[in-house]
Amino acid sequence: MSSLRTDDDTWDIATSVGSTAVMVAASRAAETEREDALIRDPYAKVLVAGAGTGVWELILDDDFTAKIEAADPETAAIFDHMGNYQAVRTHFFDTYFARAAEAGIRQVVILASGLDSRAYRLPWPDGTVVYEIDQPKVLEYKSATLAAHGVQPAADRREVAVDLRHDWPKALRAKGFDPQQRTAWLAEGLLMYLPADAQDRLFENITALSAPGSRLAVETAAEEPVDRREQMRARMERIASQFGLEKALDVAQLMYDDPDRADVPEWLTGHGWRTEWVSAPDEMRRLDRFVAAAMPPGDDADAADLDDTAFSKFVTAERPS
């Protein structure tokens, strides 16, 4: 289980779970600058620059990444793989929303939205309402920062400032959510920060609020072996020491490694959802973004039968009409 989390913990954009949103936005900003970018997020760099976390901005520094490559090629490969993962994940769920919009869904809920900028950057059809649920300070930072740069949402964006461990369905309805309308839900970068019972409650609430024809997309929590996590932590500490960096937050300590966590596709199928999924490595290979050199020694990185539990799945589901 996580060692840094408590049942009543809270955060802003520069601390605890909030700072992971900055890390993800930095990856989107770096991807946007690539010639072969899978996604374009013109707002990610602005959001990272004002967050005050410092260390994640280094992802955007070409000189720094070149120094990492020279000092520790294995760590550089891991950074590359992590950036590719974020790009592929964002691309997958962007496509999910595009298909939901094409199907006529005009009600969207992004759970633990963090610095997700989809309400601003995706081409939403007229009449689309995007509800963003997250901690109050996180939502305040995003909206204020983008407004200060003259950026306006491309849909009717409604903030739902509530902790997902509290009565978020009540708060969502108070903002105008209609459970009789079809909804496109997204739980991206979320489940790993919830214990098993909270994950079950989340899906129970989503199911209760979902009209027939609603859709759901989920990134599952990977079950990375403890030794791999320790290897990564040790690498990051060496890099921080070598380059005189302030010690970065150990993201793994924010996550709940809960052995009782339900398998998401199985849970959804058992509760009436029509479910499909793809493993993250397979989707990365499909888009030619899998970095074999980032795999731990001894793993057959080119094999199709990599241990699925060590990697996230991208799940999509629909409630039958």
Is 30 within the bounds of a domain?
no
Is 293 within the bounds of a domain?
yes
- Rounded CA-CA distance 41/121 in Å is 7
| Contact predicate 141/14, CB 8 Å | no
Q: Which domain CATH number covers 121?
A: 3.40.50.150
Q: Look at residue 22 in the predicted model and tell me its pLDDT.
A: 85
Is 254 within the bounds of a domain?
yes
Q: Long-range contacts for 230-235 (Cβ within 8 Å, ≥24 apart)?
A: 231/296, 232/78, 235/72, 235/74, 235/75, 235/78
Is 300 within the bounds of a domain?
yes
User: How many separate domains does the chain show?
Assistant: 1
Region label for 114, one of left (φ > 0), alpha (ψ between -120 and 50) or beta (otherwise): left
**Domain extent for 251:** 75-317
Mean pLDDT per 10-residue section of the chain, whose length is 321 residues: 55 59 90 96 92 64 72 76 94 98 98 97 98 95 96 98 93 98 97 92 98 98 70 68 58 70 97 97 96 63 51 96 87
Quickly tell me which residue has 């990599």 as its tokens: 306
Q: What global pTM score does this model have?
A: 0.87
Q: Look at residue 71 in the predicted model and tell me its pLDDT.
A: 73
Q: Look at residue 249 in the predicted model and tell me its pLDDT.
A: 53
Is 67 within the bounds of a domain?
no
Q: Determine the 3-state secondary structure of 115 from DSSP.
A: coil
Q: Look at residue 1 in the predicted model and tell me its pLDDT.
A: 45
Cβ-based neighbour number of residue 31 at 10 Å: 23
Q: Look at residue 11 in the predicted model and tell me its pLDDT.
A: 52
| Contact predicate 12/140, CB 8 Å | no
